Amino acid sequence: MSGAGCEYVVDASGCAAPRLTSLDALQALVDRIVRDLRLKPVGEPQWHVFPEPGGITGLVLLSESHLALHTFPETGFATFNLYHCRAQPAWPWERALAETLGASDVRVRTVERGAIIPSRRV
Amino acid sequence: MSGAGCEYVVDASGCAAPRLTSLDALQALVDRIVRDLRLKPVGEPQWHVFPEPGGITGLVLLSESHLALHTFPETGFATFNLYHCRAQPAWPWERALAETLGASDVRVRTVERGAIIPSRRV
């Protein structure tokens, strides 16, 4: 790894609860993100299914940093963090999360990481 | 898990490279954060030591969401993400990272998560 990079902070609301409790659906979504952005997982992703209402957390350790997702079926909400220490990847979060999770509103923010070069501070 | 919560985004620069390549030092730091904030890890933390220059990634799946850290010994830089879906925890990041990693500059930002209640949008 090198550099400090950029983090995508993605909040999706209005999702269909059954999608947010489906480990298969979320694993397929993560596979799609990894494939589309050519990310390089290190080891196996870590998944945890919480007790009722059945939220799911996934953590993927990447050679580029990490991908994390959490789902909250009780509120139809899902969060994603993609921290990427190299070039900033583009991905159609809004469209893809509408398609796969039924999200009605997707908010994508980027957080620049690093405090080495003062001019890069945000 | 419930709610959307808050994420701490912490960037530490000017760190001592030997601390950033020490798995023992970083595991002790994570243990301290977990203990001080009474976080509840789910399963074992995932650690990866990258080849030279020997940066390290740690991912901890929490019942409250996740804790992630990445170190970049080549630039004396380390990043932390603590996503906490419940009450916002306070921790002395600046002092603790100066003590444990020798950080000369610590930038702490908070990112509020969630798009459910419009008035909470940032």
- What ipTM does the predicted assembly reach? 0.85
pLDDT at A94 over 90: yes
For chains A and B, what is the number of CB pairs under 8 angstroms?
124
Q: Is residue A21 part of a domain?
A: yes
User: CB-CB: which of B75, B114, B115 is closest to A116?
Assistant: B75
Query: Residue A26 maps to which CATH number?
Result: 3.60.90.10
The domain in which residue B46 lies consists of 36-70
Does the annotation count B15 as an active-site position? no
Give mean pLDDT, residues B26-42.
95
pLDDT at B118 over 60: no
Give mean pLDDT, residues A72-81.
95
pLDDT at A105 over 90: yes
By the 10 Å C-beta count (0-12 exposed, 13-18 middle, 19+ buried), A118 is classed as exposed
What does the block give as tokens for B1?
Answer: 């898990």
The whole-angstrom distance between A2's CA and the closest CA on chain B is 7
Q: Is residue A122 part of a domain?
A: no
Total domains in chain A come to: 1
pLDDT at B115: 57
Percentage with pLDDT > 70 across chain B: 89
pTM, 2 dp: 0.88
For residues A118 and B14, the model is more confident at B14
Strands B56-62 and B65-72: antiparallel
Does the annotation count A85 as an active-site position? yes
In chain A, the residue whose alpha carbon lies closest to the alpha carbon of B50 is A1
Q: Is residue A1 part of a domain?
A: no
Q: Is residue A52 part of a domain?
A: yes
Query: What band does A90 get if pLDDT is binned at 50, 70 and 90?
Result: confident
> Would you tell me the crossing angle of helices B23-36 and B93-101 to the nearest 10 degrees?
160
The whole-angstrom distance between B75's CA and the closest CA on chain A is 8
Query: What band does B89 get if pLDDT is binned at 50, 70 and 90?
Result: low
pLDDT at A81: 95
- Is residue B98 left, alpha or beta, with left meaning phi > 0 and alpha meaning psi from -120 to 50? alpha
Report the Cα–Cα distance between both ends of chain B, in Å, rounded.
22
Q: Is residue A104 part of a domain?
A: yes
Give mean pLDDT, residues A68-97.
90
Distance CA B48, CA B21 (A): 11
Q: Is residue B54 part of a domain?
A: yes
pLDDT tens figures, A8-42: 999 999 999 999 999 999 999 999 999 999 999 99
Q: Is residue B63 part of a domain?
A: yes
